[in-house]
Structure 1
């Protein structure tokens, strides 16, 4: 009981309700497609329920294990992450879907190594910079080493190709750097390098360039590159204030691709209206404020930097997904945290939340 009194119980309860909401919306958004493809209306629902159950067990485990243990595991975690990211690119090992090779099959279960990379890179960056505070003015000794590993991870993920996740990881690790005492000149130089690099990789690939142009002018190619975004617009505009009612979406009946994964927010808007949208945004705002509070109260630099990294990564991922659904950002395939269908994403998100809760337990008064 003393343990549950010291952790951020409001965040734990909020996560439980929001993940339950996500499971409900996965069922609502997926049952037409599941019926057509598998003749089982509950196919995706049962799988998401299984992953949520596993994720909850791992969340509790991560919530109990002292976060300082991860400092000893950093070499193993980074090595495992890089091996898995490399295996994705090996023919007959990596699994291709939708012209991307982002999965490997482990015992018949598909797993996305990039999801593991999201949390292991945060642990690595928080570990390194919490130990190098006195050398942070020295770029070569106190700043550069983790950036080399980050560049390798970025390149491996980009080969899948997955520019969206690459950008997310770079930004999240950059936020950890932001909360150190790094000199502004070094931070500015790294920011400019990152922006130029992302723009270069975005415009030099026909595939990625098409993603950018389709979000800028989707109605120029309504039958192809703009099709998904246009149907997202229709879904959102149809919902109005209160929505059509749970289960009553029309766009999920084969019109909106990825309705239960990347574009599940469009179905939420259609079925639950603006009220449903506010519910989702309200949770992420709540998560953001609790995460910042946990980071500020963390017992040491490692916990502080790790809490900042986890908080900004989850909120940034939500922002990227919502921006794509609304047409403010290019479509990148980034799932909506805790809501979109997908075992790897949900489990890793819940583990990250468990680590954040453990940091909250070991806070300073």
Structure 2
């Protein structure tokens, strides 16, 4: 356990503080809606607090267990991931909400397998390419096998349907490939193929295309496709520099849909103002710098790829969410890491940080 003395303590403290900041903001953003729906203003707060405490409980073993162990378990983790994604699609097993089947009910607790997939696929890609460094440009032996698994995972997630998460996972795996010794022409070819696939799936469903394009001109359909984004603009503009004050948001009173989930940042901007926005952006920048540094100083290639993959996946997810809230990117339904309401997302984000902290224990001096 001597290696724990080398853990990045500042990253641990920052993440824990940010998690409880998120729990506080979930309470503030959700209380009016929870009071109307459940006659309990603290309903979502209690559930998010439960998941935060459970996540911190899981944080301990993920910090303590050497990350190399995940390499030994990679086959089992990959099989389990695919199995969970299949179970979600089976009627009477998968839980359907809003015409999407994305959840499994285990003991009355809803779990979202796609969130687990975000981490396990990173472990698989990092381990495979670290062990096959010299064969990375051998298409059949070194490059293709993980891409086949990724294609299966992508198709299963699209079937839920969840194009946003599927795209994020593709991007995260692409990041890992970027940090390998893959030839540039292969990387460009894979990027073009991924972009083509994304475009095809977006065009296949009218509602997907509408969500992707509605952010370009939300005021042209303020009562329809642009409603959520317009109210997000109102919320952000109302906050000004210092905000209306914690708990004082107007938009959360039935005006802004998904105020405590995908659009929680709008409420933060409204209640805490530009100062609150800077706080959130500052955390993600700090996380980015710390995570990349941990990856670059990792003792082996598996640690490097996994640390960089975890870091950039979380930061990219935050970037996509903040882009959607501000109207600079399409609305994809991707939650804001550590802040948005959602147990599975919060739990896996915390576990991912635990693995990152463990990698920091084995860094090069």
TM-score category, normalised to shorter length: over 0.9
Where 1:334 maps in the other structure, the secondary structure is coil
State the alpha-carbon separation in 1 of the partners of residues 68 and 118 from structure 2: 18
Matched, 1:228 2:228: yes
CA distance in 2 between counterparts of 1:249 and 1:265 reads: 12
Residue in 1 that maps onto 2:317: 317
Q: List gaps (5 residues or longer) in structure 2.
A: none
Contact 2:3 2:362 survives alignment (8 Å): no
State the partner residue of 2:47. 47
TM-score of the aligned structures, taking structure 2 as reference length: 0.99
For 2:93 and 2:237, the matched residues in 1 are separated by: 42
Q: Does the CA-based 8 Å contact 1:86-1:156 persist in structure 2?
A: yes
Does the CA contact (< 8 Å) of 2:240 and 2:270 recur in 1? yes
Partner of 2:11: 11
Deviation at 1:98, TM superposition (A): 2.0
Alpha-carbon separation, structure 2, partners of 1:257 and 1:294: 38
Matches within 5 A, 1:220-259: 220-259=220-259
Q: Deviations over 1:235-255 (max 9, x none)?
A: 001000000000000000010
Number of aligned residue pairs:
365
Unaligned runs of at least 5 residues, structure 1? none
- What's 2:102 paired with? 102
Provide the residue aligned with 2:293 in structure 1: 293
Which of structure 1's runs of 4+ aligned residues deviate more than 2 A? Answer: 1-5
What SS does the corresponding residue of 1:130 show, helix, strand or coil? helix
Q: How many Å apart are 1:3 and its aligned residue?
A: 4.8
| Separation in structure 2 between the aligned mates of residue 100 and residue 330 of structure 1, nearest angstrom | 19
Task: Give the deviation of 1:210 after TM superposition.
Answer: 1.1
Alignment RMSD? 1.0
In structure 1, the residue matched to 2:206 is: 206
For 2:191, the equivalent position in structure 1 comes to 191
In the alignment, is the contact (CA less than 8 A) between 1:139 and 1:186 conserved in 2? Answer: no
CA distance in 1: counterparts of 2:167 and 2:212, whole angstroms = 14
Match runs of 1:137-148 below 5 Å: 137-148=137-148
Is 1:277–2:281 an aligned residue pair?
no
How far apart, CA to CA, are the structure 2 residues paired with 1:47 and 1:37? 15
TM-score (norm 1): 0.99
Distance in 1, matches of 2:319 and 2:279, equals 15
For the residue of structure 2 that corresponds to 1:330, the secondary structure is: coil
